[in-house]
Amino acid sequence: MKIVMDEKIPYLADALTAMGHKVVAKPGGEICAADVKDAGALFVRTRTFCNADLLEGSNVRFIGTATIGYDHIDDAYCRSRGIFWTSAPACNAGGVLQYVQSAVYLWCRKCNRSPKELTLGVVGVGAIGSRIASWAQSAGMSVLLNDPPREAAGERGFVSLQQIAAESDIITFHPTLTRDGEFPSYHLAGKNFFDSLQRMPLFINASRGPVADNEALLSAYKNGKIADIVIDVWEGEPDINRELLDVSFIATPHIAGYSAEGKLNATNIVLKKFADYTEYKGKLPLATLPAPSQPTIKAPTEGEALIEIYNPMHDTEPLKNNPQTFEALRNNYKFRREPSAYKIEIS
């Protein structure tokens, strides 16, 4: 089978070739209708929009997106054409958790505050949000959870967005991006939300760019409603708001989930689903990761250890210095290792 794939999905091309397929790898944003016309399957990331413009008249019957988000896939169109598609839920949860951990500890260092005196509000308590909440509780923070879809399904333990805004010292957003339905998340963090903030919190968005109204976010910072901003996802990527970039404490090019473990997870998830779809009977050629070159991390605290493993300031500086290179920084990112790859010794 001819398969077209985003060239930045690691480990995948070799695996598909080993399974006997003909692989065409291209930059995700350059994949076009002519490329997929005679392809049976398509593997993408968020830069390839899988809709009628790309797929009409093609032979594609399987789409695998090696991402958690899937708003770049036109579900209604795919269903109408009998195209099966799948994503990689929770694949990068560990990487986003790592990003938020390091950001929080860096902010605590900057403000000379202890996590144990802070309240963290988590908006969107899915695979990522729940892991962040669990970590925050273990670090001694008070934690507030907001997830209207889960609450509407009968689950307990959630609070309103208004309570999050009133009582949180740090607010981190992790909902799925939805524009319709009972609980749309598009511009969930908008002017009304920012106006209701009471404690000048640290604001974190590592979910999807349009979850936060970037103009309203910038205005809230200027008006003293927000103490600091940590932003990894942006409206209009890669053409991002330069003023918002300049004032943000941490600003990165959509790489919060870009750990080696997360990328491997994503590839293996979509590969397994493709194997099931095609009823592949052989042994799947799944990749593995080697041990890091420095397997032991020694630090005085857990927070300092996590910052040593990954410091998002190292990704902030090149973006602030050269914002026009957003896409290049993202596409050529050197995947970091997650804390689970190391032995941490607290001295």
User: pLDDT digits over 81-125, tens only?
Assistant: 999 999 999 999 999 999 999 999 999 999 999 999 999 999 999
Measured from the Cβ of residue 56, the count of other Cβ atoms closer than 10 Å reads 11
What is the average pLDDT across 47-59?
A: 97
Residues 6 or more apart whose CB falls under 8 angstroms from that of 213 comprise 187, 189, 190, 191, 235
33, HSE (Cβ side, Cα atoms, 13 Å): 8
Measured CA to CA, the distance from residue 270 to residue 283 in angstroms comes to 15
What rounded mean pLDDT belongs to the chain?
97
- Using CA atoms, how far residue 93 sits from 19, 38, 88, 129, 292, in Å, is 28, 34, 11, 8, 20
Going by C-beta distance under 8 Å and a sequence separation of 6 or more, which residues neighbour residue 268? 11, 286, 287
The answer to whether residues 106 and 303 touch, using CB atoms and an 8 Å cutoff, is no
**pTM attached to this predicted model:** 0.89
pLDDT at 13: 97
The yes-or-no verdict on residue 60 having pLDDT over 90 is yes
Going by pLDDT thresholds of 50, 70 and 90, the confidence category of residue 247 is very high
Assess contact for 166 and 142: CB atoms under 8 A. Answer: no
Placement of tokens 């990003």 in the chain: 99
238's tokens: 């890669």
Give residue 347's pLDDT: 87
| pLDDT for residue 97 | 98
Q: Which two tokens stand for residue 274?
A: 């493709």
Backbone dihedral region for residue 100 (phi beyond 0: left; psi -120 to 50: alpha; all else: beta):
alpha
Which positions are catalytic? 208, 237, 254
CB within 8 Å of 223: residues ≥ 6 apart: none
pLDDT tens-digit profile of 24-49?
A: 999 999 999 999 999 999 999 999 99
Place 287 in a pLDDT band, splitting at 50, 70 and 90: confident
pLDDT of 276 reads: 97
**Model confidence over 160-217: pLDDT tens digits?**
999 999 999 999 999 999 999 999 999 999 999 999 999 999 999 999 999 999 999 9
Contact 108, 136 (CB under 8 A): no
